[in-house]
Amino acid sequence: MPPPTGGHILFIHVLSLLLSFVSAQDLSVPTSWRKPSTSRPLSERISISQDAINSILPQLDSATAEFNGIGYWQAGNVWTAIANHDYFVGTDKNKALVVNNLNTAFKLNAHYDKYGYNDDALWWAQGALSGYRAYKDQNLLSHAVDTWNEVTNYVITEADAQSQKQPKKNFAIASTCNGATMAGGVFWRPTADDQGINSITTGLYLSTSAFLAEITGDPKYTKAAVLSAQWIKAHNINADGIILDSVNGHDCTRSPSNWLFTYNSGKFIEGLSVLASVTKDSQWIDLMVHTVAAAVKSSAWQGSDGIITEGASTTSNNDGVGFKAIFIRGLYEAFSRNPRNANLRVLLRSYVDVQYNALLDLAANKSTYSSSWHGPPQAFTTWGQLASLDVLGSAIRINS
């Protein structure tokens, strides 16, 4: 049960967080960033992105819809990036490829869950949503809804938090942690005994819910998105405005404070951007802007030149290689949905272009790219190519 002063503690925490947001917001572009603009014409940017897509396709196993050299969750993100390329360009060039493979994975893996991870399922569901946005294929929308329905079974509802019971879990859940309700948190794994709740699974659920709310107009998706956004806001933002990783749903212990990964902030930024579009609630716009301002200048994953260093694994794949792609994707969504915030858009365009120019100048081997964006160029790796796709695609529209 929460201590008698829990509400007071929460109020002080939220107040101090909001005050820190006000003082910390800085949308200026650092003068130390390397090459924060590009003069490449649109046609060239489109060709660069499509050539990168073409270069990863020989690794496709069409029997599984996965790619040699990367994991299941990462493969789902390849399809998101390819669908987004077509959406940005306004073409259906890759439609059959995307739709057929997203259908294949759904047939093979119930609710897109292959290994027992709710975030894995949601990565693929977001691929399906990106495919739906690009091509308006109803089957893909149905896949996303099916996956959302399944993962919803692992969300802590307000009633669950009050009763300290979650129907799919065999342990007592914490009703509050540090005075804030645990409602809205999403368990990482569907297994009955796994107690982990993390920002990426909750952020994916927030984002998926918000996209579905936008597409369908159904308020159940909006309510779900708001509850999960509130959970991350209450539990998993550090004093610098960066999204933290995980909280134990039973005893409130949390991941180390130095577990700072780009994709946690990126997916939260994406989810808030869509949620703000749906609700027109200024608190989500404000929180998104403050998260952007902190994340694109964080020393946790870049130096003074602004080039992301996370996941620079040249000899073997690791999860961090895929994280930074998610980050860029979320930043593009914030850019696209805030046309009136000129300072925010300049900052986001500049940051994406820093990564774009690093890839093309320092890490490119023709149409393939090293996972180390500082370079040097190297022979093709599937994971390096995966990491490049969202940057190359986002640069199409963010510079238009």
Residue 376 lies in a domain: yes
The DSSP code sequence of 303-371 is: -TT--B-TT--SSS--HHHHHHHHHHHHHHHHHHT-TT-HHHHHHHHHHHHHHHHHHHHHSEETTEE-S
Q: For residue 160, what pLDDT is reported?
A: 98
Q: How many helices (H) and strands (E) does the chain have?
A: 14, 8
Residue 156 lies in a domain: no
Chain CA centroid to CA 38, Å: 25
Please provide the average confidence, as pLDDT, over all residues in the chain.
94
- DSSP category for residue 193: T
d(Cα 156, Cα 173) in Å, to the nearest integer? 9
Q: For residue 11, what pLDDT is reported?
A: 38
Residue 353 lies in a domain: yes
Can you list the residues of the chain whose pLDDT is less than 50? Answer: 1-15, 19-20, 22-24
Considering the entire predicted model, what is its pTM? 0.94
Q: For residue 109, what pLDDT is reported?
A: 98
CB atoms within 10 A of CB 370: 26
Q: For residue 115, what pLDDT is reported?
A: 98
Sign of CA dihedral 245, 357, 352, 84: negative
- Of 311, 312, 324, 335, whose CA–CA distance to 395 is shortest? 335
Q: For residue 23, what pLDDT is reported?
A: 44
- Of 262, 244, 245, 400, whose CA–CA distance to 324 is shortest? 262
CB atoms within 10 A of CB 331: 28
Residue 166 lies in a domain: no
Q: For residue 400, what pLDDT is reported?
A: 86
Whether the CB-CB separation of 122 and 187 falls below 8 Å is answered with no
Q: For residue 25, what pLDDT is reported?
A: 80
Rounded to the nearest 10 degrees, what angle do helices 138-151 and 199-216 cross at? 130
Whether the CB-CB separation of 178 and 10 falls below 8 Å is answered with yes
Pairing of strands 196-198, 180-181: unpaired
Residue 396 lies in a domain: yes
d(Cα 130, Cα 107) in Å, to the nearest integer? 18
| Domain total in the chain | 1
d(Cα 117, Cα 272) in Å, to the nearest integer? 23
Residue 253 lies in a domain: no
Residue 371 lies in a domain: yes
Is residue 34 packed enough to be buried (19+ CB in 10 Å), middle (13-18) or exposed (0-12)?
A: middle
Q: Quote the domain boundaries for residue 394.
A: 32-61+301-400
Residue 55 lies in a domain: yes
